[in-house]
Amino acid sequence: MLINFFLIICIIYAVNYGLIYYHIRQIKKNIKLALLSGDDRTALSQCWAWCEKSEIIDLRDYWGKHRFYDLVDFKSIRRRRLLLPHVGMSIMVILFYQLMLRPTGILGLGTCKATPNCSNYALGVLLRYNFIIALSKIVIRVDSCHTGQPVSFSENFR
């Protein structure tokens, strides 16, 4: 019985990370498409969430420094954090929101005025900081976004 439970957990874990890594490959294509179409906000938001520092430097060198501002100055993501169960599951919840709920308008949300948008900010923070610090930064960001305060890359969100 315990072995069956352990096998089910391992299968769910493997599927979860397979989906996340597939999503990362798709995001890299989306970043290039956004840059080609001139949508710098989308590219910047997705770079914040998913690109490591070396990838941002490569994109900045190719596409121009003016498109990526001071994004390289922020703490780099660590993709190995995806192996932590609580981080991986949190990211899956955010991806579910991004892929299923946000585009369909089920929640009645419009486009986010912040760059990066709150869900991409949450992904980036989860991959940069430990879980408790990340959650506190996400709560502060979402709260400031909904209270009408100006939000962007700032000292408060590093």
99 DSSP assignment: I
Q: Any residues with CB less than 8 A from the CB of 109 and at least 6 apart, and which?
A: 102
Q: What is the pLDDT of residues 76-111, one digit of tens each?
A: 777 777 777 888 888 888 888 877 776 555 555 556
CB burial string 45-67: b at 16+ within 10 A, e below: bbbbbbbeeeebeebbeebeeeb
For residue 80, how many other CB atoms are within 10 A of its CB? 9
Residue spans of the domains in the chain: they are: 2-157
Per-residue pLDDT in tens (0 to 9) along the chain, 158 residues: 667 767 777 677 677 667 777 777 788 888 888 888 887 777 888 887 888 888 888 888 888 877 776 776 777 777 777 777 888 888 888 888 877 776 555 555 556 667 778 888 888 888 888 899 889 888 888 887 766 666 555 444 44
pTM of the entire structure?
Answer: 0.74
